[in-house]
A and B are shown apart, each in its own frame.
Chain A
Amino acid sequence: MITIKELRKSFDGFEVLRGVNLTIPENKITFIMGQSGTGKSVLLKHIVGLLKPDSGEIWFKNKDITKLSEKELQKVRRKIGFLFQEGALFDSMTVKENIMFPLKEHFKMSKREMEKVAEELLSVVDLLPAKDKYPSELSGGMKKRAALARTLALKPQIVLFDEPTTGLDPILQVSILELIKSLKEKYNLTCVIVSHDLGLAFKFADYIAFLHGGIIIEIGTPEEIKTSANEFIKKFIESALL
């Protein structure tokens, strides 16, 4: 569904991505793993066109995203959802208004219809009682669930998650990932999750890709990754199990 070819990106002379090659399978959960600061979020932001690469290609539905104009990108972005690390909810709007916002922008719906859709989505993420609260009144986990509901409002085919479990306790981490998995089944989504939590990846991933030294050093199912011969991956797994 998404194919990344030889993607390179530098910041202030430091090359973060050094020729990333990756194919993200359709209707699966793919974890992108690696150490902090290796460019996982940078890679994710390239997929949705928030960053322009120095060179390389990102193919989505026979279109190279890196070559699209801002106007053409807008059409692609309606098919790709993105869940920011902190949610990025509009703090001047209530939770319900946040979810109604993309509906108001892209669909001709009455206010009542938009409210109905927003409430349905909030029920899906189990956040209906907080519909009239402002983001500042929500906990970290609630913010992420509200942001997920907003992401789903545009009915994306792919959802990119930037560290969706960071800052949450272990029980909430699992509940967020269970929610993602159930939403993937319900809406037939392709999910890409950036994380450095190996335990969660082994439990929820269909595929795991390892980013190290600016390139994808290995991609495989959790079982394949567990038995990888790559020294870095072996060390990563050992450290995670300590």
Chain B
Amino acid sequence: MNPFFLLGRGFLKILSDCGGIFLFFLKSLIYSFSPPYRFRLLIKHMEFIGVKSWLVVILTSLFSGMVTAYQVNIALSKVGSQSILGGVVALTLTRELGPVLTAVVVIARAGSAISAELGSMRITEQIDALKIMAVNPIQYLMSPRLWAAIFVLPLLTAIADLVGIAGGYFIGTFLLHIDPGLLTARMIDMVEFKDIMSGIVKSVFFGAYLVTVCGYKGFYASGGAEGVGKATTEAVVISTVGILVSDYILTTIFF
């Protein structure tokens, strides 16, 4: 087949997906402001996306903070600046690692489940059944999930920041024998409120983005069980890559 045709087709598919995802987001958002308001579903999804993810987020951020401290110390020791280790680790976590790792963990744990659940509902005609019963399926299935992710991701990110910094502090003081007072003082000197808030604002965006992409892929899945599997894989890949790309863009905007 003509390579230009394949390239063009792939490009058009990406464009169509981007447009579809954006419209899906807008619909999920707009429908959430019209009754019936589904507070019970909001709480249920906050529990699923947030409460059930906290342990994985803690484990991931703890070890990321520890390994960051360890590696950064090797670099800093070459220029004799080990005293700023605490500040560097805290900055890395609050600005980048905290929100990005949290989003990736939530994609793996909750995003993939959302995509698979909606995909399964699509192929068994449960989404059509909602329509038949005069229930708006996007409002019922997506709007509560969107707000749940928007509320919960910043909280998880804050936990990740705190635990990651604690991991870095632990390595700095107990393994690398840096003075705890100096470590904390540099951390306070170097990290500003803006650094913490930039990570939190990023996490709000990531929450809305990952739920929209995973929901969209599941909602429009087709082709039986194989189609659901494909939709789930695409959801995880697109949302993870998108998080990394958008993290770069948001960082250049914020700093």
Q: Do A and B come from one complex?
A: yes
Q: Which residues of A contact B (CB under 8 A)?
A: 48-50, 70, 74-75, 77-78, 80-82, 84-86, 88-91, 101-102, 105-106, 150, 154
Say yes or no: B126 contacts A90, CB within 8 Å: yes
Expressed in whole angstroms, the minimum distance between the Cβ of A32 and any Cβ of chain B is 18
The answer to whether A84 touches B135, judged by C-beta atoms less than 8 angstroms apart, is no
Closest residue to B36 on the A side, CB-wise?
A105
Query: Which of A49, A50, A102 makes the CB contact (< 8 A) with B133?
Result: A102
Give 7 CB contacts A-B under 8 Å.
Answer: A84-B129, A86-B124, A89-B126, A91-B124, A102-B134, A106-B133, A154-B133
Q: Is B175 an interface residue (CB 8 A)?
A: no
Closest residue of chain A to B117, judged by CB? A92
Q: Which residues of B contact A88 (CB under 8 A)?
A: 124-126, 128-129
Q: Chain B residues with Cβ under 8 A from A77's Cβ? A: 131-134
Count of chain A to chain B residue pairs whose CB atoms are closer than 8 Å in the complex: 50
The distance from the CB of A51 to the nearest CB of chain B, in whole angstroms, is 10
Measured CB to CB, the residues of B under 8 A from A are 36, 120, 124-126, 128-129, 131-136
Chain A residues, Cβ within 8 Å of B128 = 50, 82, 84, 88
A82 lies within 8 A of B132 (CB): yes
Q: How far is the CA of A77 from the CA of B132 in the complex (A)?
A: 6
Nearest CB in chain B to that of A81: its residue: B132
Q: How far is the CB of A45 from chain B (nearest CB, A)?
A: 8
CA–CA, A91 and B3, complex, Å? 44
A74 engages B124 (CB within 8 Å)? no
Cα-based distance from A86 to B129 in the complex (angstroms): 11
A81 / chain B contacts, CB cutoff of 8 Å: 132
Q: Are A91 and B136 in contact (CB under 8 A)?
A: no
CA A197 – CA B135 in complex, angstroms? 33
| Interface contact B135-A50, CB-CB below 8 Å | no
The 6 closest A-B pairs by CB, nearest first: A88-B129, A88-B125, A74-B134, A82-B132, A102-B133, A77-B134
Give bound CA distance, A86 to B134, whole Å.
Answer: 19
Judge whether B134 and A105 touch: CB under 8 Å: yes
B134 contacts which of A90, A106, A150 (Cβ < 8 Å)? A106
Smallest distance from the beta carbon of A80 to chain B beta carbons, Å?
Answer: 8
Residues of A within 8 A of B134 (CB): 74-75, 77-78, 102, 105-106, 154
Q: Nearest residue in B to A135 (C-beta to C-beta)? A: B124
In the complex, which residues of chain B have a beta carbon less than 8 angstroms from the beta carbon of A150? 133
Distance in angstroms between the alpha carbons of A15 and B125 in the assembled complex: 23
Q: Are B129 and A105 in contact (CB under 8 A)?
A: no
A11 and B105 CA atoms in complex are apart in Å by: 40
Please give, as numbers and ranges, the residues of chain A lying within 8 Å of B124 by CB-CB distance.
Answer: 86, 88, 91
- A48-B132, A102-B135 known; 7 other A-B pairs, CB under 8 Å? A50-B132, A82-B129, A88-B128, A102-B134, A105-B36, A105-B134, A106-B133
Q: Closest CB of chain A to B57's CB: distance in Å?
A: 25
CB distance from A105 to the nearest CB of B (A): 5
User: Which residues of the other chain, B, contact A102 by a CB distance below 8 angstroms?
Assistant: 133-135
Taking the closest CB of chain A, its distance from the CB of B254, in whole angstroms, is 38
Asked if residues A101 and B125 are in contact (CB atoms below 8 Å), the reply is no
Q: Return the contact of A50 from the options B120, B126, B131, B136 (Cβ within 8 A).
A: B131
